[in-house]
Each structure stands twice: as structure tokens, then as C-alpha cells.
Structure 1
Amino acid sequence: MVHTPTRPYVLFVQHGWHDTNRRMHRLGLALAEAKTEVIAPNLGLIKTWWRIDPLIEQVEQIAIATRDQYPDRPWRIVGHSMGGLIWLELLQRHPEWWTRIDAVSLISSPVGGADLGRILDPYRWGIGIARDLGTDRRAIAEHLARQVPMQTIASDYDGGSDGTVPIQCSQFRHASYTQLSGIRHDNTKDHPEVTAAIQTFWQTLPNPLVQDQNQDPYEDAIITELQAIPGMTDAHRRDFHQARVWATLSQGFTLRTWRHPLGIHHIFLADAANRCRFAGFVGWADTQGLYQQLTVIKQRWTD
């Protein structure tokens, strides 16, 4: 059940990696309405470099205390970058909180797994925060988005990312998607256009859940299989023009591959108009499995 937007609410705003709460608190104040209680946990810049679980637990304790203090107020949640991932993990652990939530907005959050995290920790040994940032949480986000109104915001700063997180990495099914342009990752946390995008989303509340009406079901089915390949990580589209056709599929779609100078294999899906519809890569350990699964996809989606 979604609460009416005029009712006093609690607004959680959560900063991410290598950050403090200062600018997210400023965003919260810009978003707040009369009688809004803004909660902006400060996790500590140094602590965000180590592991995500202690950060989740810290936010969890604050959320529990806030729930006890304001038992009748609904929640609105805004997370920037890793802050959005923290809330995805937290809400997965606490489905009993879902009925309290008016809306969740993720800003520049690497839901599909940060490519930087996979590059720094290709074998997922647990090097600092890299493994946690590189984890694919798209299934968690899509499941949650079927239950509560969710928005994901990305910015195209350099033709495929906000300078840090690929646009594709922030996208997931069943959520309202807002794409901005020309705003770097660090500035999406409190940019006026981000504030306006969240306010516009809130104006639709209580809103029906997103039905993904504009998604080509054929394209979506192929992308779903590509995303399911072990080790697959969303990539920047900048190297799409270097890729060569590996397989031609039905309806004019093509699978294209490119090998990075460091030996990292990339896969792209292009539509009949030669537009990049998916970009991803796998680490060295998953290269053989990549081509095995691509062969299966080729057989399934070729006339």
C-alpha cells in the first residue's frame, strides 16, 4: 500500500563510497516538505572503502530507531551510488518495511555491478570494497520494484556513463527511469536537475507500478540471457565501434565482440539500426564460459 504524498514522512538520504553525508543532507533539505524528518546517516569516508556489510548494519540500526520514533510516518528513500546499494540490501533483509515506503529513488547507483569494482577485483577475492561494488543486484532491485514505486536516475556525461557508472548499470526493469545529461557522477548527488527529477517522480504518487511498456520483448529476452552469463558486468559503450560481428541473430540483431588490450573480452548487442543495446564484459576467469553461453544464445535466437 502506498501512502498519500501530503502526509508527513521520513526522508532517508544515503551517501555512497568515498563520501560523507554533507551533500546528500543538502539534497534532503532541498526535497523536504513541511514536517519532513530528514535522516542523512554519515558512514564515514574511510569506512566506505572496506566492506559494505558494516555500513548496511549501521544504516539498519538508524532505520530501526527512526521507525520506533516515528511509527506512523511513511518513508521515502534516496540513495546515491553505493548508498542506493546499501538500501537495496537493507530492504531485501526487511520485506516487512515495504508497506511503509512511498518511493525509492536511486541516483547513479551501479545496480548491475560497478565495472570499476570488477576491474580492481577480477577474481572476487574481496579486495576492499571492490567485490561489494562489483556485485550484480539487478534481481534484488527488480523484485523490489514490483512491490514499491522505484525510480533510477542516470546521467550521460561522456556518451555512455556519468564518468564513473555506465548508464546501463543503473537500469533495471519495473522502475521509472530518468536519464539526465552532462552531469558527472560526483555532482549527481545534489544537482538541481536531480532534485527536480525526484520531485517530478514524487508528484505521481501514489502511482501504479511501471509496466515496461516500451521495452522490445525480443531485445529484452536476449539482454536477459546476456546479463545471466556468469561474471557479466555492464560496460561503457565507447568501444562498441571497435567490436566485430560475432553472430547474426533474428530481426537484424547482432552479437559483437571486442578484446581489450588487457585481454578482457567484451560483448555488445546491436539492433537492426546498428545501435548498441547492451554492453558488457567478463573477467579472465569467465572468458571460456562467456563463449559457451554466447553459442547457446546464438543457437536460440537465430532463424
Structure 2
Amino acid sequence: MPKTPDFILFAQHGWADTHHAIAALAKTLATPQSHLVTPNLGWLKTWWRIEPLILQVEGIATETIRQYPNTPIRIIGHSMGGLIWLEILNQHPEWWSQIESFVLVASPIGGSDLARLIDPFSVGIGMAGALGINRRQIAQSIAKKIPTLVIAGDIDGGSDRTITVESTKFSHGKFVSIPNLAHAQLKNHPTVIGIIREFWANPTITNPYPLDFTAQLIERLQSVPGMTDAHPRDFARSQPHITFANGFTIRIWTSPLHVDHIFVANPERECFYSGFVGWRHRAALHQVLAEIREAEVPPKT
């Protein structure tokens, strides 16, 4: 039996990447007694299917945990690397009690808007099919039990130029947004390192978002099949569709491709949420909007 480390640190790179940058991040965060696991999935393989990548990382993790059955675990996933670990943890709840912290860096938990545009019918076009899936419910169930940190970059008031800020958020995860850092920069940056160290010093489970009117409305819209969190850049083009007694509005802009974009705004016309559905789910969206209009408040999901 090898010497027991103080903790195991799994750090997983994402799409169109290799392990080099995330491994450098892990080395900076590790102690001399840590055991680092930073699998290289191969740049080309990250373009095809996510299932073989999940199996590869799961196999490595299973063997590592078998070697060190009582050692605390810390996990960091960048972008698709975070999604891989969500899927693995969802399959292995028996590991949860051993995990001290789970850090998701620029991971599109709610689904990548770019991926949904590439694969609008969810038929599984390359990696886009996997990256467009909404995994928010999985993430929330894990974050209820494992202290979870969410780090997002915000370059342009809504995205890190690869994924939207909104797609990284979910209840029970501690959320930190870093201005002026792009998607690739987040996988190994001094600011990210400092935020992770601070969280590791006090890894707590975050209370759920208060279910006020706005949160309830957003939650209802996010429950629409095919809803994808979007950038608010097209908010100015939208028109009010439903106006509530408190002055909040649901607004719609339909793109030239006939894709419906939905926005939630307060009376001062500040955008609180933006999302879109493709052609396949347009009828479902308008059914939900009709229910909301009839109820005059967003019914609980």
C-alpha cells in the first residue's frame, strides 16, 4: 500500500484542451503530500463523444480511490471537465462522504448556448450534443451534500466569450464571477488560485437561493424543455410579452432564424435572465407562457 497522502486532488481539463494548464493549476494548489490526478484525455478525442471520456476518468478515479480508500478528495473541473465529474459523481454517491470540495471552473451546467446552436434538435452532433445538456438538477443534488464552488469569467457583461455566466449557476453552489477573464484564462490564473484556496480554507455548503418572485419566475422558465441560458446582448431588441402587477416583465425577441429568446426584466428594464429555445421546443415554451399569464404569478415547479 502506497503512503497515504493528505488529500487526493483530481483536476480535469475540458473540451479542445489537454491537461497541461489544469495540471499546473493543481501543482500550485497542492501540498508536498498531495496526490495529483490530472488525466490527459487528448485534444482530438474531446471533439467527439463525452461517454468514453467519462469512462476513462471514472476508471482512473476508481483505481485511485481503491488505493487510498480513506483519503479526503478534492475535485476541480474546468469547462467540460466539470461536466465529466458531475456525471461521475452522479453515478457514485458512495464517494460523496469522502469529498471535501468540488470546484467547477467555467462549466456550462445549464447547457452551452453555442452547443445548442450547433445541435438545435439535440441529435448528438459531435461533442455539441453533450455540452448542450442541462445538468442543473444533478449539480444541485450534489451541491446539497458536497461543498461546491462555482467560478465564472465575465468579459462582456454576460459571458467569458465561450459560455454564458448564467449557465454556470445553480442553487447550493457558492458562485464567484471574475471580470475580465476569458474562458481559457480561467483554467490557470492567480485570481482563480486565490479563490480556490479561500474556499478550501472554509468549504461550506451554500444555502439555496431565496425563492422570491424573480427567482421563482426564472426557475419556471428554466424548467421549459430545451431552455438554454443565453447572453443578454439581444435584450434591447425584445418586446414585453407579459407584464406583472409589480412591473416585472417577460420579454421576447425572435431571431431571424425564428428562435425565441426570453428575457426577465424589472420595472427599470434591467435584465435579470435571458434564455432561448429552439424550434423543437417552441410550443412548450408558449404553453408555459400561457400558464404564467393565466396565473399572473409563476407557478412553482
Matches of 1:91 and 1:271, distance apart in 2: 37
Matches of 1:90 and 1:302, distance apart in 2: 37
Residue 206 of structure 2 corresponds to 210
Task: State the SS of the aligned residue for 2:246.
Answer: helix
Letter in 1 for 2:120: P
Residue 91 of structure 1 corresponds to 89
Distance 1:109 1:77, change over 3 A: same
The alpha-carbon deviation at position 212 of structure 1 amounts to 3.2
Residue 269 of structure 1 corresponds to 264
Letter in 1 for 2:208: D
Residue 107 of structure 1 corresponds to 105
Matches of 1:14 and 1:270, distance apart in 2: 37
The alpha-carbon deviation at position 301 of structure 1 amounts to 3.1
After superposition, what is the alpha-carbon deviation per residue over 1:239-297, rounded to whole angstroms, capped at 9, x for unaligned? 11111111102422100000112221100011233221111000111112211111112
Aligned counterpart in structure 2 of residue 57 of structure 1, from 55, 58, 62: 55
Identity of aligned residues (%): 44
Question: Does residue 33 in structure 1 map to residue 11 in structure 2?
Answer: no
Residue 296 of structure 1 corresponds to 291
Aligned counterpart in structure 2 of residue 220 of structure 1, from 215, 220, 235: 215
The alpha-carbon deviation at position 302 of structure 1 amounts to 4.6
Letter in 1 for 2:206: V
Task: State the SS of the aligned residue for 1:225.
Answer: helix
Give the TM-score normalised by structure 2: 0.95
Alignment of 1:96-175 (within 5 A): 96-175=94-173
Residue 21 of structure 1 corresponds to 19
Matches of 1:302 and 1:54, distance apart in 2: 44
Residue 279 of structure 1 corresponds to 274
Matches of 2:211 and 2:58, distance apart in 1: 38
The alpha-carbon deviation at position 299 of structure 1 amounts to 2.1
Residue 4 of structure 1 corresponds to none
Q: Which segments of structure 1 move beyond 6 Å, counting only runs of 4 or more?
A: none
Distance 1:267 1:11, change over 3 A: same
Matches of 1:101 and 1:131, distance apart in 2: 29
Letter in 2 for 1:210: T
Task: State the SS of the aligned residue for 2:151.
Answer: strand
Matches of 1:76 and 1:273, distance apart in 2: 43
The alpha-carbon deviation at position 175 of structure 1 amounts to 0.7
After superposition, what is the alpha-carbon deviation per residue over 1:12-62, rounded to whole angstroms, capped at 9, x for unaligned? 000000000000000101111231111101001111111111111000010
Matches of 2:283 and 2:46, distance apart in 1: 34
Give the TM-score normalised by structure 1: 0.94
Task: State the SS of the aligned residue for 1:230.
Answer: coil
CA contact (8 A) 1:114 1:133 kept: yes
Runs of 5+ unmatched residues, structure 2:
none
Letter in 1 for 2:264: L
How many residues are matched? 294
Matches of 1:111 and 1:183, distance apart in 2: 19
Aligned counterpart in structure 2 of residue 229 of structure 1, from 224, 235, 246: 224
Letter in 1 for 2:230: A
Question: Does residue 253 in structure 1 map to residue 245 in structure 2?
Answer: no
The alpha-carbon deviation at position 65 of structure 1 amounts to 1.0
After superposition, what is the alpha-carbon deviation per residue over 1:98-155, rounded to whole angstroms, capped at 9, x for unaligned? 0010000000000000011110010111110111000000000011111110011101
Matches of 2:186 and 2:293, distance apart in 1: 38
Distance 1:140 1:250, change over 3 A: farther
Matches of 1:232 and 1:247, distance apart in 2: 18
Matches of 1:212 and 1:179, distance apart in 2: 18
The alpha-carbon deviation at position 298 of structure 1 amounts to 2.0
Letter in 1 for 2:296: W
Letter in 2 for 1:83: G
